[in-house]
Each structure stands twice: as C-alpha cells, then as structure tokens.
Amino acid sequence: MIGRLNHVAIAVPDLEAAAAQYRDVLGAQVHPPQDEPEHGVRVVFVDLPNTKIELLHPLGEASPIAGFLEKNPAGGIHHICYEVADIRAARDRLRAGGARVLGDGEPRIGAHGKPVLFLHPKDFNGTLVELEEA
Ligand code: CO
C-alpha cells in the first residue's frame, strides 16, 4: 500500500544553523525558510535525489514542534512521510487493522498542498508516520 518515502522531518533547535549544515557541510540543495502558520512551523526543504528532508522549527505559540524540542533539546527525527495513492482508502484499511489515525481522521492539506494524515506513533514502533496522497 505505501509507496515512496516522501520525506523525513527533523525538528531542529536552530533552523539557520541546520540549513547551513545541510547546504555547506553535506552539500545538499537547500531552499529558503518558509513559514507555515497553519501548521505551526517554519520549514526548510532539502532536496535529495531520492527524497526530501524537512527541517522543522516551531512557529507561534501552539506549535506541535515546541513540545518535541522541549523533550529533545538537541533536535531529532520528528516523523517520516510515506506516499499513498488513495489516502481515504489507506485510512480505512489502517483503521480496520486497529491503527489509530490522529485528529478527526479527515485528511488535511499538508505542506506540499496535498492531503495528509498522521498515524499514532505507539502503533508504529514509536515513529510518527505521515501519509501523503501523491
Ligand atoms: Co511531513
């Protein structure tokens, strides 16, 4: 059911430093920072030949990244995103198998303008999983 790895999202305490590291030390193609107020994040997209990295930093008071960085002050992998062809069909299949879908279960428009859902990390080996319809 799942397809390509769309991205790996890493929460970082210093977005500028992390972007510079990916650009200058790792030699990756790094985009300028982008504010996404509806998701409570400022994000830097990093293009790799086979996937993307998203460097996430809290934006605003109610950012979902703030609590994560409190528990992981040095930063860390926040979630991974897999592509699915039909997000509602994927959701229904996962629910039927006992997996918990976060929120009200209705797909939201994610950072790339496509519908996304998140799955409970306790149901996936301690990893927050995002599904994106692609
Ligand atoms: Co994501």
DSSP 16-35: HHHHHIIIIIS--EEPPPEE
**Arithmetic mean of pLDDT, 7-28:** 98
Centre of ligand 1 to C-alpha 81, Å, is 6
CA distance 57 to 47: 18
Q: How confident is the model at residue 111 (pLDDT cuts 50, 70, 90)?
A: confident
pLDDT at 122 (0 to 100): 97
pLDDT tens digits, 38-80: 889 999 999 999 999 999 999 988 898 999 999 999 999 999 9
Three-state DSSP class for residue 70: helix
pTM metric for this prediction? 0.93
- Mark whether 133 is an active-site residue: no
- Spot the catalytic one: 106, 130, 132, 133: 130
Centre of ligand 1 to C-alpha 80, Å, is 7
Centre of ligand 1 to C-alpha 79, Å, is 7
**Arithmetic mean of pLDDT, 7-11:** 98
pLDDT at 7 (0 to 100): 97
Q: Of 3.10.180.10, 3.20.20.70, 3.40.720.10, 2.130.10.30, which CATH number belongs to 5-133?
A: 3.10.180.10
**Do 134 and 5 touch, CB atoms closer than 8 A?**
no
pLDDT at 114 (0 to 100): 93
To 5 degrees, how large is the angle CA 10–CA 111–CA 88?
105
